[in-house]
Structures are given as structure tokens and as C-alpha cells.
Amino acid sequence: MGWNSWNHYQLKIDDAMIRAQALALVKSGMKDVGYQYVVIDGGWEGFHDKNGIFHADEARFPDMKALCDYVHGLGLKIGIHTSPGPTTCKGREASFGHEKEDAQTFARWGMDFVKYDWCSGDKVYQPEQMQEAYKKFADAMKSAQRPMVYSLCQYGAQDVWKWGPNVGGQMWRTTGDIADNYNSMMMIAEGQDGLEKYAGPGRWNDPDMLEIGNGGMKPDEYCTQMTLWCILAAPLFAGNDLTNMDAMTRETLTNPEVIAVDQDSAGVQGHRDWQEGPIQVWSKKLHDGSTAIAILNLGRARTAEIKLKDIGLPGNGRVRDLWLHKDLENMQDELHIAVPKHGAVLLKISEH
């Protein structure tokens, strides 16, 4: 869990902005509910010197180690972005030919997370060399002797969920970039169904970052993204301006009962169980034997009427609405619950 600069800022980043976002992550209460990584995406890069050492763009990031120290001083962790190709996706310098030196530089600065983004990789590698390219940087990170989370970003190419752990990854993108609209978000979410067998503790399918708070969706649609990402046990990386959040955005990002579904210790990725018309039901087994149920409405506001046997649940049980922090009446064979347009309800269902 954490925050990444790309969705809101893209290349418009600098030292002061990253410090401000890190401080806001703490002051907003996000740190208290589990957000810990502050990830500097593309836009920090400067050049490699004659000794192969990577320097940040000094006009924007005059002292990367001092920035890492500041973030660590807040009780947070920090990450960075680069590419196995010669340039990033926006044409800035990347790590091809300098993998070992760059991993050592990141470790020396104090980085805790590396997002390795394919970008221009196809300019220097053949398709069959993708795994080799990713393993090369994993080996470089290992030799740097600093624990760093390794996030593979190659948009789901070559069924990465099947080989991501074998090249040292802890998380891997299963999809192209998300856009801040409902159709993009739902297309990505539905594409995760069936990948659950490849996920578990220490190995996570990544459907890309959260758009919550960036303005392209309505509050109920952002609620749906958070609900689905938690059912999917997805990495939760906010991508908004943390220094300027309204109450709804903050509440959507920081609901501890909802986050507990995502961070459940069993590490189960949920799946879609049932659909009738615009109503979908997704479920996820939790470590205490209970089940998290997400009810989505792809159409107009309506009351969802779901027979419990159709989604594999017994005819009675304790029900808690995790968004409303409220216990509901016990179920008796059917579930009747109002779901707004493009909205979601997240329930935790436990046996008596």
C-alpha cells in the first residue's frame, strides 16, 4: 500500500512535491491504515555519468538521499521508477546497460521499492528476452544488498502472472494503464477474473493504481474501484493529490474495514461468482473463515435480489456492511440490498 506520483502529476514532480505528499499521507490518516510506500514515478531522471552512475535531475531532485531520509523519518518507505530499456516511456534516461550500478545507486539512496517499467525495452530486447531482462535487474537488486520490493510493469505481456515470481517479482502489472473513467476501471477489473490462482502472499497481481480523487469518476464509481481492488487483494497505491482531498476521497481511501479485506492475511484474490443483468457478485474468502462479498451495479440504481445458494453461501449468517460500518439483519435465503448506479456494496458474511 502506498502512493505513486504518476496518475495525477506524471512528469510534473520535484523534491518539494514528494515531501508534501509524504507528509500529507501521514497527516491524512493514510499511514495509520496501512499506506507506507511513497513512489517517485517517471520524471526524476537525469543522466548516467562516465562511471555509469545514475544522477537525478538536479534541478528537481538536488539530493535524492536526503529525500529518502526525510520520507523514512516520517515512518514511511520510498520507491522509484526506471526501465530495462534505454529510455522511460516519456523519453527520459533509463537503466539499460547500467542495471547493476543503478540498483546499487537506489540502495545507496535508501530506496525500498523499484517499479521496473518495460517502456523502451523492446528496442533492445527480443520478445523472448523479456524474462531475462527482468531477472537481470532482480539479480542486480540482490547484489545491492538492500531489501527492495520489485514491481514488474510490462502490462500483462506474456502472461506475466505465470513467471513473475521466477524472475524475482513480488507484484506485476496484469493490464495496460488505467484511465480515470468507469469503463477503463471496470474493463481492467473484469480482466482479473481467473488470475486468482496465481496470487497469494508475496506474489500479487497488480491491476494498476487507484484513480480515486482525480476527478474523472463519480464518488460511487470510485467506491466501486476501491471495493473491487480490495476483493482482488490488489496492491493499493493511491494516485491523487493527497494535499487536497475532500472528505469523500479520504473516507474512500481510508476505510479500515474495507482495507482489511484487501490486506487479509490469507492473501486470497477474489473472483466473480455470479451475474444477472447489470448486477455482479464477487467474493473472497478471509482468514477467519468469513467471506467478503462485493455486489456491483453496472446499470441504473436498483435493489439487488440474490439467492444465497446461487453464490455458494448458506441460507443464514451474520452480515456486516463494511462501507457503512453497520451490522445488517441476518440473511434468510435471499439478499435484498440497494446498490446505486455504477456503485458497489461490500459485505462481510460470517456463520453464526
Q: What is the DSSP string of 10-37?
A: TT---HHHHHHHHHHHHHTTTGGGT--E
Q: Is 185 helix (H, G, I), strand (E, B) or coil?
A: helix
Residue 248 belongs to what H/E stretch? helix 247-254
Indicate if 288 belongs to the active site.
Answer: no
How large is the angle between the packed helices 182-190 and 219-231, nearest 10 degrees?
Answer: 10
| Catalytic option among 177, 193, 220, 321 | 177
Q: Is 335 helix (H, G, I), strand (E, B) or coil?
A: strand
**Backbone φ and ψ of 341, nearest 5°:** -55, 130
Question: What distance in Å separates the CA atoms of residue 116 and residue 306, rounded to the nearest whole number?
Answer: 43
Angle at 166 between CA 236 and CA 68, to 5 degrees: 45
Q: What is the dihedral of CA 166, 134, 211, 113, to 10 degrees?
A: 90
Longest CA–CA span in the chain (Å) reads: 72
**Backbone φ and ψ of 114, nearest 5°:** -130, 125
* Helices and strands: H and E segment counts in the chain: 9, 18
Q: Looking at this protein, which amino acid is placed at residue 12?
A: K
Angle at 328 between CA 327 and CA 332, to 5 degrees: 135
Torsion sign (Cα): 199, 202, 203, 206: positive
| Catalytic option among 15, 41, 117, 262 | 117
Residue in 226, 233, 88, 93 with CA at minimum distance from that of residue 153: 88
Neighbours of 271 (CB within 10 A): 16
C-alpha distances (whole Å) from 220 to each of 161, 226, 248, 297, 300 are 30, 10, 10, 10, 12
Indicate if 177 belongs to the active site.
Answer: yes
The catalytic residues are 117, 177
